Amino acid sequence: MSSTAALEDFVQTIQKEKSEAAQKNQYQKVMSKYAFKMKESQLKNNPERIVRILKDMQVLGLQPNLEVLEAAIHGLFTCGQVQLGKELMENVTKQGYEMSPAFLSTIIYACRYAAEDATTLASPLFEQVVSQQQPDQKVLLDAFANIILLYSMQGNEEAVETYWQRLKDFGLQPNLNCYLSKLYLYTVLKKGERAAEVLDQLKQEINIKDRTLSFSAQLAPFHLALESCRMPDEMDTMYRIFDSITADNIIKTSATYGIVMEKLYEAKRFDMVYEILDRILTFDDTRNVAPNSFMFKMVFQCFTETELNDDVMGKIRHYHKKMMALEIESKDCSRMYDELKQKWAQIVAQRRSTILTEVKEYEKLLSQTAKAKGKKK
């Protein structure tokens, strides 16, 4: 072959490779757009659109790549169409696609939408993740955190402890998400004392005050432990956990006080619910925590279970005025306030009716007495 022919052949090869690369790049862009549509449909909770997009791609002769298929599967699971997601996953596997352990871990988490079938679906996926040779440690921890969460949601303490031990057997150190998944178990079982023990373990192994963690992340384990307390039996445990937040130099938020108010409501300690909101409204030792609609909702719920009188109605009007002044909107609070006013109006009307009846009976008695005296004369 002459040097000229070799040069022409080389140029053609380069042009062909550029053309193929351009086509591949264009294909990837098209797939990314379809994957974005899948994610958009998931956010809008529209599984029908996910199915429709897959059918449209089939009509157009477009073969979805793994990015699109993973987005579709995750979207179907998250939108509650678990069976469709499972069928699609099985078809993808049959076609020879190999889904990454990281993706499988996200699907384990998405299995929570399958309710009672969650662990049945997730367990085989989890085994696929841990059976990988030299699996990524972060992916492994995510998978453990997700499978533990699923069993925690079902209140299966034995299974949670089994997977927790497997995690340790892998030589892994539980991260914050693993601990949060385990703490969730006790919110289901209402075992505040056990949650407090796990919280102590967490603080020994993890620097909860790490500056890389957000305020919400720092507070998350404390909030779960607070929610685990069974009221009124574990009120002391709740206060111990609450006080430990301050002791650990972590700033409480409106959500923290909201959880405590809800727990006190469950314990029928209405006076303490009012006290907490009063402290927040007057910025008394609450580090400027802002009152919110949930706090007022707790207060009004207390009033719905309280015998109404003049003093109680005065407090109800006081809190309603505060809520209006702060421009806090809540349909629940407005509904309860209207119901309380209506109930009070009925009580007042009943009072008036009773007084009028008593007056009439008294007047009747006076009249009868007068007539009796007249007859004696």
pTM value? 0.82
The candidate with the shortest Cα–Cα distance to 125, out of 100, 95, 91, 160, is 100
Using one digit for the tens of pLDDT, what is the confidence trace for 294-344?
Answer: 999 999 999 999 999 999 999 999 999 999 999 999 999 999 999 999 999
> Residue written as tokens 């407005």?
334
DSSP string, 163-198: HHHHHHHTTPPP-HHHHHHHHHHHHHHT-HHHHHHH
Residue 224: count other Cβ atoms within 10 Å of its Cβ: 23
Give 114's DSSP letter. G
Counting as low any pLDDT under 50, the low residues of the chain are 7
What are the φ and ψ backbone dihedral angles of 188, each rounded to 5 degrees? -75, -45
Give 61's DSSP letter. T
pLDDT on residue 80? 86
Contacts of 156 (CB under 8 A, 6+ apart): 119
What are the φ and ψ backbone dihedral angles of 100, each rounded to 5 degrees? -70, 150
CA 224 to chain centre: 11
Structure-block tokens of residue 304: 């719905």
Contacts of 194 (CB under 8 A, 6+ apart): 186, 228
Alpha-carbon span 145 to 202, nearest angstrom: 14
The candidate with the shortest Cα–Cα distance to 143, out of 157, 129, 156, is 129
Give 113's DSSP letter. G
pLDDT on residue 6? 54
Contact (Cβ atoms closer than 8 angstroms) between residue 190 and residue 229? yes
pLDDT on residue 283? 78
Alpha-carbon span 126 to 105, nearest angstrom: 7
The candidate with the shortest Cα–Cα distance to 281, out of 289, 293, 270, is 289
Structure-block tokens of residue 113: 């939408």
Using one digit for the tens of pLDDT, what is the confidence trace for 173-212?
Answer: 999 999 999 999 999 999 999 999 999 999 999 988 887 8
Structure-block tokens of residue 303: 């009033």
Residue 60: count other Cβ atoms within 10 Å of its Cβ: 8
Give 228's DSSP letter. H
